[in-house]
């Protein structure tokens, strides 16, 4: 099947590999796994993912509603701050609500009295190598850290969310940081009924010691008598999706450049934010090209890659690992055509589930 590029292509067979590891971890550890919608919210594959996961977790009213209506199962609501006008609707879609601060708990505890309530804790450590994404950065607004302030509100909450892992594929680092969390928050953990350890743990990676991870989670749950939750985002969808593009033009300004019908700023914004290059596979051969986006941004560059053959106009280039923090951040910068979303079924059939038109662009403005 030939689709007009650009489009995101979700491969269910690759998605399945992640889902099976999540299911195995759930079985071995007893922990529950919630899809982090801030990372991936393409609901056309939710019916596939829900057989392997326990529900969703969110960061806004829109996400909690999407999780409730499109995924179902258990629905956790979290936000850095809830507004007065949205709290009632948030509660109507959630099974659990997690407040970021004691002040927010004080303000909305009564509104949320009909569902399970929790609080975010900040242990002051994280695995993030980017200050921009570090939840434990100096003066962080993400969660409470003072045990003495939290203990008096334990009568209004039953659990905690602690998110301090970021792109962490190192089990030993996870283990050490969890030990610090236990040492710092033991008095609170012993009074809790559930604890979410958040996302950012790359336990679906090929070399990750899944059995050791499961044992550590099980031991943590037993030590404190809590139900453990994980919130995998990228771990759920890693390596499952490509951004399919086509070469539109070739030029040389001292380097060979290839311009494609996509844009890093519009379609893979996280790469630009964190100054990382895209992934291509294979990335070998004697012909090196800088792959560039078609927007007017001078730095709209996917990276430099090696190819076996010289590129020509019309060639297809597949940007790898293009699911996490991409479709949820895509935008209309320059009015560049929004990539369609397609799914490759387990039998190999490719179907388009969403296309975007001029009307979508126009209606995104006013």
CB 243 within 8 A of CB 8: yes
What the block records as the tokens of 334 is: 């320059």
Neighbours of 339 (CB within 10 A): 27
What the block records as the tokens of 228 is: 């453990």
Bridge partners of 306? 288
DSSP letter, residue 211: H
DSSP letter, residue 337: P
Measured in degrees and rounded to the nearest 5, phi and psi for residue 349 equal -70, 135
CB 250 within 8 A of CB 317: no
Bridge partners of 98? 78, 118
Q: Which contiguous run of DSSP H or E holds residue 118?
A: strand 116-120
* Listed residue (189, 315, 330) closest to 269, CA to CA: 330
* Listed residue (127, 112, 190) closest to 154, CA to CA: 190
User: How far from each other are the two terminal CA atoms of the chain, in whole angstroms?
Assistant: 36
Q: Which contiguous run of DSSP H or E holds residue 291?
A: strand 287-292
- The Cα 134–Cα 121 span in angstroms is 14
47 is in an annotated binding site: no
355 is in an annotated binding site: no
- The Cα 219–Cα 202 span in angstroms is 20
Angle between helix axes 210-224 and 12-29 (nearest 10 degrees) is 40
- The Cα 29–Cα 174 span in angstroms is 15
What the block records as the tokens of 192 is: 């809790």
Q: Which contiguous run of DSSP H or E holds residue 245?
A: strand 241-252
CB 333 within 8 A of CB 309: no
Residue list for the binding site = 234, 270
Residue list for the binding site for substrate = 234, 270
């Amino acid at each position: 099947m030939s689709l007009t590029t650009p489009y995101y292509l979700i491969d269910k067979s690759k998605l399945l590999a992640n889902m099976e590891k999540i299911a195995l971890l759930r079985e071995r550890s007893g922990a529950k796994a919630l899809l982090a919608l801030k990372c991936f919210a393409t609901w056309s594959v939710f019916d596939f993912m829900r057989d392997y996961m326990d529900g969703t977790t969110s960061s806004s009213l829109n996400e909690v509603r999407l999780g409730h209506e499109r995924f179902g199962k258990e629905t956790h609501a979290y936000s850095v701050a809830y507004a007065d006008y949205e709290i009632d609707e948030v509660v109507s879609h959630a099974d659990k609500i997690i407040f970021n601060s004691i002040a927010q708990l004080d303000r909305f505890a009564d509104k949320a009295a009909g569902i399970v309530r929790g609080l975010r804790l900040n242990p002051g450590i994280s695995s993030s190598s980017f200050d921009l994404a570090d939840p434990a950065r100096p003066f962080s607004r993400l969660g409470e850290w003072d045990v003495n302030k939290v203990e008096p509100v334990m009568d209004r909450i039953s659990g905690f969310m602690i998110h301090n892992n970021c792109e962490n594929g190192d089990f030993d680092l996870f283990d050490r940081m969890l030990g610090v969390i236990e040492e710092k928050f033991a008095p609170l953990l012993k009074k809790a009924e559930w604890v979410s350890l958040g996302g950012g743990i790359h336990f679906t990676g090929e070399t990750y010691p899944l059995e050791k991870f499961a044992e550590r989670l099980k031991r943590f749950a037993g030590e404190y008598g809590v139900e453990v939750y994980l919130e995998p985002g990228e771990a759920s969808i890693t390596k499952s999706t490509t951004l399919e593009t086509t070469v539109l033009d070739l030029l040389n300004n001292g380097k060979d450049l290839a311009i494609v019908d996509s844009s890093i700023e519009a379609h893979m914004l996280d790469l630009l934010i964190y100054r990382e290059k895209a992934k291509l596979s294979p990335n070998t051969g004697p012909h090196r090209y800088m792959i560039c986006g078609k927007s007017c941004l001078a730095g709209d560059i996917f990276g430099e890659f090696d190819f076996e053959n010289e590129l020509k106009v019309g060639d297809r280039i597949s940007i790898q690992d293009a699911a996490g923090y991409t479709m949820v951040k895509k935008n209309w910068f320059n009015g560049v055509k929004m990539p369609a979303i397609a799914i490759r079924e387990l039998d190999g059939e490719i179907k388009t589930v969403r296309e975007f038109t001029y009307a979508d662009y126009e209606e995104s403005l006013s």
